[in-house]
Structure 1
Amino acid sequence: MYWQRKAGVALMAAGGLLLAAFVVPTVYGRAMSHLAVAEFRAESGSHRLWDSARIRAYQRTLAMVMPTPEGVLRVPKAGIEVPVYEGTSDLVLNRGVGHVTGTALPGEAGNVAITGHRDGFFRGLKDLAVGDKIEVQRSDTAGGTDTYVVDRIHIVLPGDTSVLNNTGRSTLTLITCYPFYYVGAAPQRYIVQAIKQGA
């Protein structure tokens, strides 16, 4: 009987240790995750508006090797400063914003189209108005910065690719999903078009 009691106590202690081994890291992990999200949002005014899942997706990309960006997009009014990578893959859009392949490259004449997530880097586009300035600092050999002025903001359906057409002027087209706080796959696209100064 004595050994049974000792075995019972030992089993209870082992069960308590196993439970603690599971609960402590889980609670600690969740607390640290919430802390990391809060710190990330505090880093920049634009990040505080990000969706938590988007922040985690961005953080996962930090350990990955990325190609050299084509440039840096700055939207002072919206607090946006983000690298522009080629393409629109998940990796690209989680790490920065993506240049739409087939449109003019930064620094070229034509329509430069750039897309980003509405719950990430491009959430601040909702605060833009006609007349606001946007900058694209190029990373090509010539370098330099192109300044654009917002000319038009409109909403289109996802299948409307006319926003990618050459406009006959040096244009910057920023594309994101809309509505900004829609739950699920957003049914529309928010388009910001800007004209290059001096063009």
Structure 2
Amino acid sequence: MRYISIIIIIIGLGFIGYSGFHLWNSKQMEKEALERAESIISNDNSDAASFTPQFGEEIGILELPKLKKSLPIVEGVDEDDLAKGVGHYSGTALPTEKGQIVLSGHRDTVFRRLGELEIGDELHVQMPYGKFKYSIEETEIVSADDLTVIRPDLEEEMLTVTTCYPFRYVGDAPDRYIIYAKPMN
């Protein structure tokens, strides 16, 4: 019985160690991506028309002033992209373009505190060609398989931020938390 207890403790410590390493590694990747994004923003003077993001590259910074967070934005939303920060859903608009800008991130890394934001809070997006401010107008919770939140035919500029929900859920979350924000004048 004593040996079984020791084995269970070792297995538990292994899980804790693995989880700790995963969190540390995610923070390191996010930090490096943020440094690259800051460098791109400070060194690039391109305009919106000539800006052509490449998959997997840092393209900007999402600032959440209320949470005092700056997060790198990476082109694409596959696992490698989301491991670095917030992913820009390719094929959706970018700031200054008419249409919907869709940004997604993991609830257990970059968007851990996203639920603390409220209607009226600001979101800032820094791109190589400028800084853009948005105000949260609406939030909603939808099923994970509900793709109606992506609206390619939207006539006006809107920032949509998505993550899994519930925030503290263990495993694959059944829902998505959506924030809709409009440009501030």
Match of 2:176 among 174, 183, 189: 189
Gaps of 5+ in 1: 1-29, 38-51
Check whether the contact 2:58–2:72 (CA below 8 A) recurs between aligned residues. yes
Q: Which residue does the alignment assign to 1:78?
A: 67
TM-superposed deviation, 1:80: 2.2
In our comparison, the structure showing a higher alpha carbon Rg is 1
Q: Which residue does the alignment assign to 1:112?
A: 101
Paired-residue identity, % = 37
Q: Does 1:56 align with 2:43?
A: no
CA separation of 1:122 and 1:151: change in aligned 2, threshold 3 A = same
Q: Which residue does the alignment assign to 2:144?
A: 158
TM-superposed deviation, 1:78: 2.0
TM-superposed deviation, 1:157: 0.8
Match of 2:119 among 130, 137, 150: 130
Greater share of helix residues, 1 or 2?
1
Root mean square deviation of aligned Cα: 2.7
Give the distance between the partners of 1:76 and 1:172, measured in 2 at CA.
Answer: 16
CA separation of 1:125 and 1:182: change in aligned 2, threshold 3 A = same
Check whether the contact 2:59–2:127 (CA below 8 A) recurs between aligned residues. yes
TM-score (norm 2): 0.71
- Deviation beyond 6 Å, 4+ runs, structure 1: 61-64
What number of residue pairs does the alignment pair up? 148
TM-superposed deviation, 1:194: 0.2
Relative contact order, CA 8 A, sep 6+: which one is greater?
Answer: 2
Check whether the contact 1:122–1:176 (CA below 8 A) recurs between aligned residues. yes
Gaps of 5+ in 2: 1-13, 37-55
Residue pairs, 1:144-183, within 5 angstroms: 144-165=130-151, 166-183=153-170
TM-score (norm 1): 0.66
